[in-house]
Structure 1
């Protein structure tokens, strides 16, 4: 179906109606191991733009590297609101199998539902399959696209496989320059890994750090900070040095990691999108309640710069101690 549609970034598609989508699903409400979730029903019949072609993704569950996904795309403005999964606030990009779409011409219209958005045919099946078996202590466990990604993308994708880079450029996921840049980053990081394992410390480049240069922090007990930020407020992300100063040796602040992809945003301004208090553990499906709320920032996502142009575009969580509140005149 992906070849038949030949979808590229910027293409206009229409999400099929419920009956058409139901015909593609198995008894679990899945296609090729990928669930169609209740949160997706609101988009049935709408015309939307392809944001990225989801031909690969980074494995955040087992850290196996990149994995190959077949016949799937991301659509502009289509992120999961968690309404059918306990109010999860991870704000994941939704995967759309090309069998659930048709290519059209004209203008996008994500505000008005087409005739297929009745929510009457698919909802019972999808609601039933949004849950796993209860946990050992009877706790509710959810099933969603994020928890099932290893089944939907079972094949590991080697960094050395050139086809992924050709696909990145051909589909419009990345430019030639962006593709060459991420290959250089990947080669450098592999050298750094080799040097840490095989070479004496005095031969390490910048302490053996991977590109992006986020090292361990100095703290045994990491500090906290409270700004009580609210949606719509303007903030600046602190400098990388200031954030590293709040981390422990594991590069975390009270359990929340700070990574190279996040360091890319240091010094930028953004608006608060939400205060995050709960999110699904994608390994177990359990709902995690945060002792200290984190912050989501508008339009601040993982760009895949250091992850071979992964198109997944995670929305990272930020500690308030990593941010500073700005007044409106300070906006840059």
Structure 2
């Protein structure tokens, strides 16, 4: 499908299992990007394009891009990790153009759009979920291999931002807000703001609130949170990002508990305790549940969720 058919707001249909299978290599990937078992249930279903992926963050690397510029995000649920032993990363799923068709394309019948059980099982058998006994295989772990660095250029960031505005990914007002936030954070870092978030501990404390999905919580003050951190701005290895400090004092509800995450760099499952992710935080805008990439003057299509230790939160009474 051409780029013009893959603009924000356009309705598309996920192709059948047999059509998708024909695009995949022996590892179940297209241009290195895996089609995952969690995506199977959406074959034949219709969605709107939520975002074009003109750039993407990759753990430990500068912002990268897909060489063919043929990836979008749909208004479908995030990955639930059900086929990857319950990983709670909650990634947005990336979709290649070849796995989609425009909703207005002719289709002879629903039976032909839907995948047969045999087609689905053939596709499932092609898909990898592990590289070996310890390392998992998914879009997150393969993101570095399926993307490339941007070509050098002084105004690369500005060109990408203008493309995102032109494609309807973000509005001009939101782009200005994100740019202002980017500048603010850079100034804070230049002034030594990192040092204000370095805690006193060698071995950090923990607290268990046993928070459950839907419970109302309040983010503690910056001073209270810093008291739980080490010099690397982390608590028991879970790092604190600068954006999280914008939410101090705000209330929101628990999205779900986070007890295991696949490490994007190593592919190994990491076990967590006393951690949750939160719904959008009231008063913090539409990106109130997502981490912004500090090195970019805008948001990232990945929309990575922020993970919170329970010791950084307090339960709010329902009375």
TM class, shorter-length: 0.7 to 0.9
Q: Is the 8 A contact 1:38 1:123 kept in 2?
A: no
TM-fit CA distance, 1:273: 2.4
Q: TM-score, normalised by structure 1?
A: 0.80
Give matches, 1:1-332, under 5 Å: 1-8=1-8, 10-60=9-59, 63-69=60-66, 70-104=69-103, 115-118=113-116, 120-134=118-132, 139-156=133-150, 160-161=155-156, 162-186=158-182, 205=191, 207=192, 209=193, 215-290=197-272, 292-299=273-280, 301-302=289-290, 304=292, 306=294, 307=296, 308-329=298-319
Aligned-residue Cα RMSD (Å) equals 2.8
In structure 2, relative to structure 1, the CA distance for the partners of 1:301 and 1:152 (3 Å cut) is farther
Deviations 1:37-81 (A, max 9, x none): 110011111111222222211121xx2211113211111232111
Q: Which runs of 5+ in 1 are unaligned?
A: 106-111, 194-203
Q: 1:85 and 1:311 mapped to 2: Cα distance?
A: 22
Deviations 1:195-227 (A, max 9, x none): xxxxxxxxx53x2x37xx963123333221111
Q: 1:78 and 1:86 mapped to 2: Cα distance?
A: 18
Q: 1:311 and 1:113 mapped to 2: Cα distance?
A: 33
The secondary structure found in structure 2 opposite 1:227 is: coil
Q: Is the 8 A contact 2:81 2:90 kept in 1?
A: yes
Q: Is the 8 A contact 2:57 2:300 kept in 1?
A: yes
In structure 2, relative to structure 1, the CA distance for the partners of 1:214 and 1:147 (3 Å cut) is farther
Q: Which runs of 5+ in 2 are unaligned?
A: 105-109, 281-287
Q: 2:230 and 2:205 mapped to 1: Cα distance?
A: 9
Q: Is the 8 A contact 2:17 2:123 kept in 1?
A: no
Deviations 1:134-191 (A, max 9, x none): 2xxxx43211000000122122366830321112211222222332344455556667
Aligned residue pairs, count:
301
TM-fit CA distance, 1:33: 1.1
Q: Is the 8 A contact 1:214 1:260 kept in 2?
A: no
Q: 2:221 and 2:111 mapped to 1: Cα distance?
A: 43
In structure 2, relative to structure 1, the CA distance for the partners of 1:276 and 1:31 (3 Å cut) is same
Q: Is the 8 A contact 2:28 2:126 kept in 1?
A: no
Provide the residue aligned with 1:199 in structure 2: none
In structure 2, relative to structure 1, the CA distance for the partners of 1:113 and 1:187 (3 Å cut) is farther
